[in-house]
Amino acid sequence: MRYGRGTPNPVRGATVSILKTKLDNGLTVLLKDVHTAPVASFWIWYRVGSGREHLGITGISHWVEHMLFKGTPRWPKGTADKAISRDGGMWNGATWYDFTTYYATLPAERIELELEIEADRMTGALFEPQEVEAERTVVISERQGAENDPLFLLGEEVMAAAFRVHPYGHETLGHMCDLLGMTRDDLYRHYRTYYVPNNAIAVAVGDFQPDGMLDLVRKHFGAIPSRALPNWARPEEPRQRGERRVTLEGDGNTAYLSAVFHTPPATAPDIYPLVVLDTVLTGASGMTLFGGGGTNKSSRLYRALVDTELATQVTGSLVPTADPFVYSLTVTVRAGHTLAELERRLRAELERVVAEP
């Protein structure tokens, strides 16, 4: 066990004190006490997401996430939700390329409830056949709803062009054929393979004493046995040898332009200059699970494309990932202008960044 005391915080110039340790079963624990309000938040992160999927089971990580809200023998369906709400808390889950996470925020004196629930469903999720079929309808509906968004459709095609080998090339929601074909056994096998303490990170932040919180983590998670994880050979995306273009036509009168560029993983030193570059180009959006905030009206691309009335919106997306990914720029074309006009101006601005950093 070690305390990360005195670690510089580049944003505020302060120091960050984080207790980091690992239990005997391999569970990594990160604890940060913050006493500004009498609340606490507990998260459990599993190192599995759509980036660990292959054709035939795309979307399985997201579907398994849904199933963990369908009950255990100790917490039948709906009872955990009611318990969290009764104590004034909120909870949810999320799936992305490299992780699946579950979390709750509660009054600090009741945060142990979330630890109890998460430890229980790490091993006890039921995956009852009728619930699997009911949730099949839900994830299919979610996929169909996303397909009503032209930016989703464009993004899916662009990512498939950017990644020909790596699983990052498919959407976290999965392909429709896989959602129709996966079985209860597929889902349960995925759950039992990856939902183990040695593939998880427990994170707590809030109004508590770190040593006391660590005792609670040990109490609820310490007896859960570790299991061997499958050997994961990271697919290495071949070097792209030339520009790739995708043209997608559909209903509606609005045109969109998406440009993506290959980027290194989050652990690479170049990720920090890329954060600055994204801020310069499209504004400070932040690399967080839920996105950033603020305005981008002073950014270079906003001034070049929106202020000049060539576009109605421009956004950038820099996603921190375990493997090399992409930086994407998306522009909504203003009526009366063409994609070719926007592309020329966008290229000119990117060249200006090189010439005038």
In the chain, where the domains are located: 2-221, 256-355
Separation between Cα atoms, residue 299 and residue 281, nearest integer Å:
5
Residue with token string 């921190």: 320
Helix (H), strand (E), coil (C) string for the chain? CEECCCEECCCCCCEECCEEEECCCCCEEEEEECCCCCEEEEEEEECCCHHHCCCCCCCHHHHHHHHCCCCCCCCCCCHHHHHHHHCCCEEEEEECCCCEEEEEEEEHHHCHHHHHHHHHHHHHCCCCHHHHHHHHHHHHHHHHHHCCCHHHHHHHHHHHHHCCCCHHHCCCCCCHHHHHHCCHHHHHHHHHHHCCHHHEEEEEEECCCHHHHHHHHHHHHCCCCCCCCCCCCCCCCCCCCCCCCCCCCCCCCCCEEEEEEEECCCCCCCHHHHHHHHHHHHCCCCCCCCCCCCCCCCCHHHHHHHCCCCEEEEEEEECCCCCCEEEEEEEEECCCCCHHHHHHHHHHHHHHHHHCC
pLDDT at res. 323:
96
On the question of a common fold for 2-221 and 256-355, the answer reads yes
pLDDT at res. 356:
84
187: number of Cβ within 10 Å: 22
pLDDT at res. 14:
45
**Contact in structure between 49 and 98 (CB atoms under 8 Å):** yes
pLDDT at res. 234:
82
Q: Cα-flanking dihedrals φ and ψ of residue 274, to 5°?
A: -65, -35
Sign of CA pseudo-dihedral 171, 173, 179, 182:
positive
pLDDT at res. 11:
40
pLDDT at res. 10:
42
Residues of the chain with pLDDT under 50: 1-14, 289-290, 292-293
Residues forming a β-bridge with 333: 311
pLDDT at res. 252:
87
pLDDT at res. 166:
97
Strand pairing class (28-33; 200-206): parallel
Which residue in 61, 63, 67 sits closest to 45, CA to CA? 61
Which residue in 223, 206, 202, 211 sits closest to 111, CA to CA? 206
pLDDT at res. 13:
44
Query: At the topology level of CATH, where does 256-355 sit?
Result: Cytochrome Bc1 Complex; Chain A, domain 1 (3.30.830)
pLDDT at res. 282:
93
Separation between Cα atoms, residue 26 and residue 44, nearest integer Å:
13
**Contact in structure between 274 and 268 (CB atoms under 8 Å):** no
Query: At the topology level of CATH, where does 2-221 sit?
Result: Cytochrome Bc1 Complex; Chain A, domain 1 (3.30.830)
AA letter at 153: L
pLDDT at res. 295:
60
AA letter at 82: K
